């Protein structure tokens, strides 16, 4: 585990400087501390194939220690087991569990898809949130899961098959064009947007941050706007959308929401009522940074030992 000072020295200087521009020194210290070492392995029980009690019993039989997650009954934090070790278990091979970041589980919980709804997952690979939503819907309804990259789309199809998510149709195509093809069609849309991935940075692993640049952030912000417009077109009137990223900067988060409110007939909704209270009041979750009251309804999850950095906003088409 590195000190905050050591983390500052390892991460790109421009990135660290921008953190101090956007957040208080105390929040920046929390963020950098959350990037100081490896994160705990976390998993989600796939309720299509198993249940939390069965999985906990199997983990106990294998002497794997874990903690429950207060805000999500089907999530576990492993205390003495790596991803490679858990992948050797039969419950992993059979798709009874899915290795997934806790933060990644929050956007589907906020979207809250129901049985028999039509749901669009606009940038779906590798399928973490897609399979979670299929389980939340009890495998009843329809999910259209789109992925641009052909190889990643194959990985998506593999995970859908392994998890038994039979209500999902996988599509290899451009997310920007889906809105015009399926105008006003979906009850709910998840846009977990391609982003610069700052929430996943680990100072101990240069691979997590070596490709970051200000230019990449600007290019991704342009793409995110195109995808949001497509998601908006695909959503039926009064339908709900969740916009999320695994990055920390305002350009890909708050500024995207400002653009959305100005350009699209859409409103930002509260999140607190949609997920358990202790998530909303967690020390690792802070409101969006903005002078606009509605944008403050979005939440930023800070990186920590148990969570990747994430940004989540709940929207409704007027």
Catalytic residue, chosen from 81, 96, 195, 246, is 246
Beta strand spans in the chain (E): 42-45, 66-69, 72-78, 97-99, 118-121, 142-147, 168-172, 186-192, 235-245, 266-269, 285-287, 299-301, 310-317
DSSP class of residue 40 equals: P
> Residue 122 in contact with residue 231, Cβ under 8 Å?
yes
> Residue 110 in contact with residue 181, Cβ under 8 Å?
no
Closest CA to 7 of 285, 217, 201: 201
Beta strand spans in 79-175 (E): 97-99, 118-121, 142-147, 168-172
Q: How far apart are CA 7 and CA 310, in angstroms?
A: 19
Beta-bridge mates of residue 242: 190, 314
**Count, residues in the chain:** 318
Whether 261 is catalytic: no
Residues forming the active site: 246
């Amino acid at each position: 585990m590195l000190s905050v000072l050591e983390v500052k020295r390892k991460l790109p200087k421009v990135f660290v400087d921008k953190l101090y521009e956007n957040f208080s020194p105390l929040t920046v210290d929390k963020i950098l501390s959350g990037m100081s070492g490896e994160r705990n392995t976390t998993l989600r029980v796939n309720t299509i194939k198993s249940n939390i009690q069965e999985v906990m019993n199997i983990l106990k039989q294998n002497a794997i220690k874990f903690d429950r997650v207060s805000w999500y009954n089907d999530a576990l934090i492993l205390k003495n087991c790596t991803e490679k070790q858990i992948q050797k278990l039969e419950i992993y091979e059979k798709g009874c569990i899915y290795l997934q970041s806790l933060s990644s589980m929050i956007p589907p919980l906020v979207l809250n898809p129901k049985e028999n709804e039509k749901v669009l997952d606009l940038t779906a690979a590798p399928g973490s949130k897609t399979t979670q939503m299929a389980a939340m819907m009890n495998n009843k309804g329809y999910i259209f899961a789109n992925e641009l990259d052909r190889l990643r789309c194959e990985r998506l199809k593999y995970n859908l098959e392994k998890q038994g998510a039979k209500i999902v149709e996988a599509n290899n195509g451009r997310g920007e064009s889906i809105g015009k093809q399926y105008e006003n069609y979906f009850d709910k849309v998840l846009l977990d947007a391609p982003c610069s991935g700052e929430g996943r940075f680990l100072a101990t692993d240069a691979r997590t941050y070596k490709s970051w640049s200000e230019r990449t952030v600007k290019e991704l912000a342009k793409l995110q706007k195109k995808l949001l417009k497509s998601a908006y077109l695909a959503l039926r009137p009064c339908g709900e959308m969740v916009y999320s990223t695994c990055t920390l900067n305002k350009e890909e988060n708050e500024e995207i929401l400002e653009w959305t409110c100005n350009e699209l007939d859409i409103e930002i909704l509260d999140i607190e009522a949609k997920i358990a209270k202790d998530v909303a009041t967690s020390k690792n979750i802070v409101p969006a940074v903005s002078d606009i009251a509605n944008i403050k309804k979005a939440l930023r999850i800070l990186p920590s030992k148990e969570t990747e950095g994430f940004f989540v906003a709940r929207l409704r088409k007027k």
